[in-house]
Structure 1
Amino acid sequence: MITGEIKSKIDSIWNTMWSGGISNPMSVIEQLTYLLFIKRLDELHTLKERKAARTGKPIEEPIFGPGQDGLRWSRFKETAPEQMFATVRDEVFPFIKTLGSQREDDGQGGSTYTHHMRDALFMMPAPRVLANVVDQLDDIDMADADTRGDLYEYMLGKIASAGQNGQFRTPRHIINLMVDMTAPTPLDVICDPACGTAGFLIAASESLRTHHGDAIYRNAKARRRFNDHTFHGYDFDSTMLRIGSMNMLLHGVENPDIRYRDSLAEGASGATGDDAGKYSLILANPPFAGSLDYESTAKDLQRIVKTKKTELLFLALFLRLMQTGGRAAVIVPDGVLFGSSNAHKTLRTLLVEEQKLDAIVSMPSGVFKPYAGVSTAILFFTRTDSGGTDTVWFYDMRADGFSLDDKRAPQPDKSDLPDILARWRNREAEADRPRTAQSFCVPKAEIAANDYDLSISRYKEVEYEAIAYDPPQVILARLAELEAEITDGQRALEGMLA
């Protein structure tokens, strides 16, 4: 989690930009992201230089070419405010907008990053504001991936409408849990249809590097598949697309498919056209704070489930986007698990009877604080179109390693996440676990008999410990003794005052 020191630094930078004339919170975030991106580029180039110095070989894929040394953060930060402003506005910013454009020169169509950056604007109002912000950002170490992600999370959390728009980052440890449980492989085609800052796609790319590094970098073809064809994300916020593209590029994915798309809208839905049945793994935390008009919602999704609720429509979308045999790990509000409307029941029946519902991890309501206090769960399912659900594995997550209040203070000794992953990987041993345990399996027939209710409370058994109380006569005698002591004490006080 982000530390108090970094929070105070970001608050100070935010106030500097606000007082300098950038009053739109999303504009503040966007400009800060550009500067953080520029800073990170210099850090990455420095790492390449150090590697080259150690090995005695030329720098591999240098970020800054000959004559571009002055564009580096470490160089222009030492210049006077007026010169720095001119350099960033006229040279550095155009440079970052064209990163990846060499792909167009190579006949490869250019990167999605370049496409999204074409409309980016440099909005720093004055040299003194830029110099002040650069000085403050220079103290923040961007080498750690968690720090970069937490910076985005904290900045997005400063937007008052974040809870309404769904534009807050899923906690990294929850993302990592979902990625570890789905275990991406080099053959996967991965999608997040509500990608935001691309946190799920980044975690999946890091998992692939850690566990399948030799395979994804085996040759030029494998490298091209990893960089160009593995990761796909949609969002309908242009700022989020730019931030997500920069985030992916910073994490070493050169050309992810990050596109503008209102995933649920008629005529633009990812469930139609070439994307239907395209993806083997979906990782998502879609917006679930609203409803849509029937007229504006994709008709192919309405054929799966007739509803206006976005959380149900996104589940229908995921099923349409998945390949047969494809798997998904998605976060849903608890209402999806037990809602009584026809749409809720239809979708749950579909997941259990026509697809393969693998698991439900129930999360405590504090996981998304301070941005939202809603109770949520993670659904794991596989598209089969022919059933396959025999039992559903339930886990009652009670702690995630952080306090469940608005402070979200680290509590590393209180985390169920390692146990969740270990038990998931050894699910065969879970079959005989009692219903009083944190994890257990429920047969499909029992779920069907309960009207496809998927809430863990429906199946979990609570153990009540019998407490032995003294007989009433003994309790009354004890009360009489206490009353006598009080009376004696009162008389003693009265005697002292006489």
Structure 2
Amino acid sequence: MLQNNSLLKGKIDQLWNKFWSGGISNPLTAIEQITYLLFMKRLDDLDLKRISDAEFTGEEYTSKFDGEFTLPGTDQKVDKQELRWSHFKRMSAEEMLAHVQMKVFPFLKMFNGDESPFTHHMKNAVFIIPKPALLVEAMSTIEEIFEEIEKDANEGGQAFQDIQGDVYEMLLSEIASAGKNGQFRTPRHIIKLIAELVEPQIGQRITDPACGTGGFLLGAYQYMVTQLDKNKKDLQPDEDGFIRNSVSGLLTKEVSEMLNESLYGYDIDVTMVRLALMNLMMHGVETPHIDYKDTLSKGFKENNNFNIIMANPPFTGSIDKGDINESLQLSTTKTELLFVENIYNLLKMGGTAGVIVPQGVLFGSGKAFVEARKILVEKCELKAVINLPSGVFKPYAGVSTAILIFTKGGETENVWFYDMEGDGYSLDDRRIKLEGYGDLQDIVAQYKKRDSRIVSDRKDKFFFVPKKEVVAEKYDLSMSRYKVDVFEEVVYEKPAVILTKLKEMESEINTELSELEEMLG
């Protein structure tokens, strides 16, 4: 696992340092440029592997690097073979920088054809690595990273694609240093937990209306791919206790196309859209549907269109009142409340959502807060409220959050609460992996075998609360409202006994002091 590969982590740090010292200090700009290089390398590697596989099996395969590429705005044609990483990495530094800027990058931008979302969102992308030396050093480090991934895959048995995904996730984690627009990456183990609870299936329409770098969509994809192999005996759980992979022997062309048609993501930051597209493409999703859209605005019309929603929408900020989608009825401009209603609207009847919200949504007393919770309890089956420890989003934020699991159109009879005390990582800024899985696997096990007919003990970590009680509390969904605190009875000795003991101690101290004086005297 990447967690234990200090060499790989060191190489990734090295890559960051090279960009920093090379004059690209903005993490978002750096990750975008690094992503372009990773993408170029991965395209070449995957294409060469597919050529080799096709030769071995006798199947037909048309290389992405066959034929010529016409440079945009010119009549000049270039042999696509010259656009391979394995070709231009042998050039001199100055020649290479010009070649990548003027030929390879334009080819990359149009890689999926003129009409694809990828090409559309790459239109204004720029390659801004300024110095030949930085390009050479960055490419050299990426080569070393890929060699280490190959070695790790051969020795550890984890799929190359998954380790490469781990590396990319590690790079993406650097983005969150700014926590801009209230966005911060959702830890992968929390994404895996939510996927396990909402159980996305191949053929369903799945979305994240504020997708960032595509972590939830990738989590849904990996969950579905893993289901293809679920009957295999040799699948091993990862460091969080989940079984996940991005590749499967049963991932046929037809299944791949169905998976491609399952995943939809939207974000209001075009850089995030590009990163999400490349993140999913590097994991095997060939044509992901990621679009630059504000899902709260008037221009977004996808209501009643999705079976599964997994999301961690922005917690802070507000939207201009005049731009709010007419279908949103809550009288508020707070994005965390509008997203709750919006996710409800986007779900098909019978569709399920797993959404992370700040704790304030659970107990806020304002009219819009109460109305948002009323939607969850009265118009859905609110299945679970899972409290997360406040350190889950460190070092980016210390905000207290909860996971809501709800199904549109279902009937809420009892709400299941769970108080997660640990997630398998230290809850400080370092977030070091601890032994075991924390409460992750217990949450999955208890959620899947929960039975609201069974009377539960409110002193426990998890319990049910009847709907009528939640309604009576103005739809308050904070666990502390219903949990019974356990006070441990402490029996103290009688004052006379304590006084006697103090006198005995005083006598002993005086005796020892006298002995000490004699020794010194």
Task: Report the TM-score when normalising by structure 1.
Answer: 0.89
Task: Give the match for residue 308 of structure 1.
Answer: 333
1:97 deviation in Å? 1.3
Which whole-Å CA distance do the structure 2 matches of 1:284 and 1:64 have between them? 37
2:321 match: secondary structure: coil
Question: Deviations 1:374-394 (Å, cap 9, x if unpaired)?
Answer: 11111011111xx61011111
Which whole-Å CA distance do the structure 2 matches of 1:253 and 1:170 have between them? 20
2:207 match: secondary structure: strand
1:157 deviation in Å? 3.2
2:142 maps to which of 127, 131, 137: 137
Instruction: Provide closer, same or farther for how the CA distance between residues 215 and 330 of structure 1 changes in structure 2, counting only shifts above 3 A.
Output: farther
Instruction: Provide closer, same or farther for how the CA distance between residues 340 and 216 of structure 1 changes in structure 2, counting only shifts above 3 A.
Output: farther
Which whole-Å CA distance do the structure 2 matches of 1:176 and 1:439 have between them? 20
Pairs aligned (count):
478
Structure 1 letter corresponding to 2:308: L
Find out whether 1:289 has 2:322 as its counterpart: no
Task: Give the match for residue 443 of structure 1.
Answer: 466
1:68 deviation in Å? 3.9
Which whole-Å CA distance do the structure 2 matches of 1:86 and 1:494 have between them? 87
Find out whether 1:276 has 2:303 as its counterpart: yes
Unaligned runs of 5+ in 1: 105-109
Instruction: Provide closer, same or farther for how the CA distance between residues 219 and 370 of structure 1 changes in structure 2, counting only shifts above 3 A.
Output: closer
Task: Give the match for residue 152 of structure 2.
Answer: none
1:169 match: secondary structure: coil
Which whole-Å CA distance do the structure 2 matches of 1:211 and 1:202 have between them? 14
1:161 deviation in Å? 2.2
1:212 deviation in Å? 4.3
Task: Give the match for residue 31 of structure 1.
Answer: 33
2:406 match: secondary structure: strand
Find out whether 1:92 has 2:104 as its counterpart: yes
Task: Give the match for residue 57 of structure 1.
Answer: 58
Question: Deviations 1:284-313 (Å, cap 9, x if unpaired)?
Answer: 000002223323333332x2x111211001
1:431 maps to which of 427, 435, 454: 454
Task: Give the match for residue 403 of structure 2.
Answer: 378
The range that moved more, 466-475 or 442-451, is 466-475
Find out whether 1:254 has 2:286 as its counterpart: yes
Structure 1 letter corresponding to 2:41: K
Instruction: Provide closer, same or farther for how the CA distance between residues 74 and 461 of structure 1 changes in structure 2, counting only shifts above 3 A.
Output: farther
Which whole-Å CA distance do the structure 2 matches of 1:255 and 1:383 have between them? 29
Find out whether 1:76 has 2:71 as its counterpart: no
**Equivalent residues of 2:176, 2:185 under 8 A apart:** no
Which whole-Å CA distance do the structure 1 matches of 2:256 and 2:486 have between them? 53
Structure 2 letter corresponding to 1:333: P
1:406 match: secondary structure: coil
Question: What root-mean-square deviation, in Å, do the aligned CA atoms of Structure 1 and Structure 2 show?
Answer: 2.6
Find out whether 1:345 has 2:370 as its counterpart: yes
Find out whether 1:114 has 2:119 as its counterpart: yes
Structure 1 letter corresponding to 2:30: V
- Superposed, which structure 2 residues align to 1:8-407 within 5 Å? 8-49=10-51, 51-52=53-54, 55-58=56-59, 60=61, 62-65=63-66, 68-101=80-113, 110-141=115-146, 143-145=160-162, 148-149=165-166, 151-158=168-175, 160-162=177-179, 164-212=180-228, 220=254, 223-227=256-260, 229-265=261-297, 267-268=298-299, 270=300, 273=301, 275-301=302-328, 303=329, 305-384=330-409, 388-407=411-430
The range that moved more, 76-85 or 338-347, is 76-85
**Equivalent residues of 2:161, 2:283 under 8 A apart:** no
Instruction: Provide closer, same or farther for how the CA distance between residues 344 and 216 of structure 1 changes in structure 2, counting only shifts above 3 A.
Output: farther
1:352 deviation in Å? 0.6
The range that moved more, 466-475 or 369-378, is 466-475
Question: Deviations 1:65-104 (Å, cap 9, x if unpaired)?
Answer: 3654443334433432123223322332122212211xx5
Which whole-Å CA distance do the structure 1 matches of 2:132 and 2:453 have between them? 62
1:44 deviation in Å? 2.3
Instruction: Provide closer, same or farther for how the CA distance between residues 146 and 337 of structure 1 changes in structure 2, counting only shifts above 3 A.
Output: farther
Task: Give the match for residue 244 of structure 2.
Answer: none
Task: Report the TM-score when normalising by structure 2.
Answer: 0.85
Which whole-Å CA distance do the structure 1 matches of 2:485 and 2:342 have between them? 36
1:427 match: secondary structure: coil
Which whole-Å CA distance do the structure 2 matches of 1:473 and 1:47 have between them? 84
1:153 deviation in Å? 5.0
Which whole-Å CA distance do the structure 2 matches of 1:73 and 1:174 have between them? 35
2:505 maps to which of 471, 477, 482: 482
